[in-house]
Structure 1
Amino acid sequence: MAHEIITSVQNPLVKRLHQLLDKKGREEQGRYLVEGAHLVEEALKSGAEVTTILYDQERSLDPACQRALANHSQAAQVIAASAAVLAKLSETKSPQGIVAEVKKTASDWEEWVDKLAEKENALLLFLDEIQDPGNLGTILRTAEAAGVDGVVLGKGSVDIYNGKVVRATMGAMFRLPVFTRELAATAGEWKQQGGRVLVSSLSQDSVSYDQADYSGKIALVIGNEGRGVSKGMLSCADQFVHIPLYGKAESLNAAVAAGIFVYEAQRNRRR
């Protein structure tokens, strides 16, 4: 199938899409870019609103993306583009030959959490000012793999639509409910729903992660890479938990810690 071809980086569409590489552009347009055949395929398969796909004119459109596109409920504009155009829209050293423009989606927290109230053993992850894009993307990927019901991203955290975050999720962001909200207020709402809040902290009354009570509806709080959990969230804790360090390291990477906590919670529930 023949598609429109764009070869100039000065093309108005290319200029508009290039703005999506910055947070300001993403916020103004309500859209973001995904790069690489796997992520484009995952976006299409998940039902995300993919509006535009640009692929390298020297290659054919990836077969898996073609199949996903054929089954996609909404029409997307498919355009062949020059290597220079794709390089203009890429944040990686080696452009992967395909990018897609995706509309942001906004789930309603109140409606979603009301439905979750029916679940006896809900598991949420609260992220308190996570700054590193790689960490956030890895946490979301791990949370989705571990069966976490949803993630609440605190104000001041890195933009979930940052290109590095999107790539690190490996498609998990299209399947996992993620909300950006004020964490302390959200914790209060969670408690009103009968949930408990477990906060990662080395305080004196903190218990080891393998001794914590993960039963019922819980939210696990992971803190900032440098400062840890904020005072506001420490005051919301029903229980403090920590991961013992047996070597000389002073702390664990936030994504590693989150993975240990969520998998221990799930192991504990299945025991």
Structure 2
Amino acid sequence: MEKITSNQNRQVKAWTKLKTKHGRQKAGQYLIEGWHLVSEAINYDQPIVTIITTEKRLASDGAAFKDRFDYVVVTDEVANHIADTKTTQGIFAVLSIIPTNQVAANFASGGWLLLDQIQDPGNIGTMVRTADAMGLSGVVFGTGTASQYAPKVSRSMQGSQFHIQIAEADLSEWINEYHEQGYPVYGTELNPDAVALDEVPAQANFALVMGNEGNGMQASLLALTDANLFIPMKGNAESLNVAIAAALVMFHLQK
């Protein structure tokens, strides 16, 4: 059993770099933190390279992984150094990043949520978890959307990223491919041509684009949708949080 006690250790430096976009791209790996995420990765057969654990966490949860995966024991000081949270749980995993083209063949049908330049990790996590709960096939992170591998985004999804398909792609290309299957793509914008959500029936196959928290959907993507939907509201609120709006639309559309 290997034990690392220094923050200057070569592996510790490599793990720390995985908290950055450049580090993840260079290594082709990313880091997840916390027992819930690590256990979900184990249970859903994710490409785990190494598990990093403190002795305390090994004693409490090691039975779930020590006979199945490579693991390294680190001191509390090292765990705090590589952690992205203020209070670490003392358990991490390094996972391989699977290129999108290895899962793209499965994007043919079902309900899909497309994120257009969504930046807030909490909003992303809520939408991905809702897509998971509603039984959607997957979520596509469009250009300009925060990366699914960023630590805060990863934690906010709480393991739902391992339950459904997730990809990072150019949304315009993806929409065109989805249209080739003959399935509708809906945007979300309140304009004179928008259609009330309750006028659209539930369906088995659709794509729903949710736009940036402040600016909404890009005009170039709005031009590609079959219809833009709005949520009828009885009260006086001017708008809804993007994650709440997405939840309502997904709940209505998903057959």
Query: What is the TM-score when the length of structure 2 is the normalising length?
Result: 0.93
Residue in structure 1 matching 2:128, options 136, 140, 146: 140
- Measured at CA, do residues 95 and 203 of structure 1 come closer, stay the same or move farther in structure 2, by a change above 3 Å? same
Deviation at 1:147, TM superposition (A): 0.5
Q: Which runs of 5+ in 1 are unaligned?
A: none
Is the Cα–Cα contact under 8 Å of residues 100 and 168 in structure 2 kept in the other structure?
Answer: no
SS of corresponding position for 1:47 = coil
CA distance in 1, matches of 2:154, 2:104: 25
The equivalent residue for 2:64 is 67
SS of corresponding position for 2:112 = strand
The equivalent residue for 1:190 is 178
CA distance in 2, matches of 1:85, 1:68: 20
Deviation at 1:213, TM superposition (A): 3.1
CA distance in 2, matches of 1:82, 1:67: 20
SS of corresponding position for 1:60 = helix
The equivalent residue for 2:98 is 105
Q: Which runs of 5+ in 2 are unaligned?
A: none
CA distance in 2, matches of 1:61, 1:161: 28
The equivalent residue for 2:39 is 41
SS of corresponding position for 1:42 = helix
CA offsets, 1:109-134, max 9 Å, x none? 54223xx35xxxx2111111111112
CA distance in 2, matches of 1:250, 1:24: 39
- Measured at CA, do residues 86 and 110 of structure 1 come closer, stay the same or move farther in structure 2, by a change above 3 Å? closer
- Measured at CA, do residues 51 and 96 of structure 1 come closer, stay the same or move farther in structure 2, by a change above 3 Å? same
Q: Percent identical across equivalent pairs?
A: 35
User: Which amino acid in structure 1 is aligned with residue 73 of structure 2?
Assistant: A
CA offsets, 1:215-268, max 9 Å, x none? 3521111001010011011101211111234444332111111111111112xx
- 1:128 lines up with 2:126 in the alignment: no
Deviation at 1:68, TM superposition (A): 5.0
CA distance in 1, matches of 2:123, 2:59: 31
Is the Cα–Cα contact under 8 Å of residues 46 and 95 in structure 2 kept in the other structure?
Answer: yes
CA distance in 2, matches of 1:21, 1:234: 33
SS of corresponding position for 1:51 = strand
Between stretches 252-261 and 8-17, larger displacement belongs to 252-261
SS of corresponding position for 1:21 = coil
The equivalent residue for 2:161 is 173
SS of corresponding position for 1:204 = coil
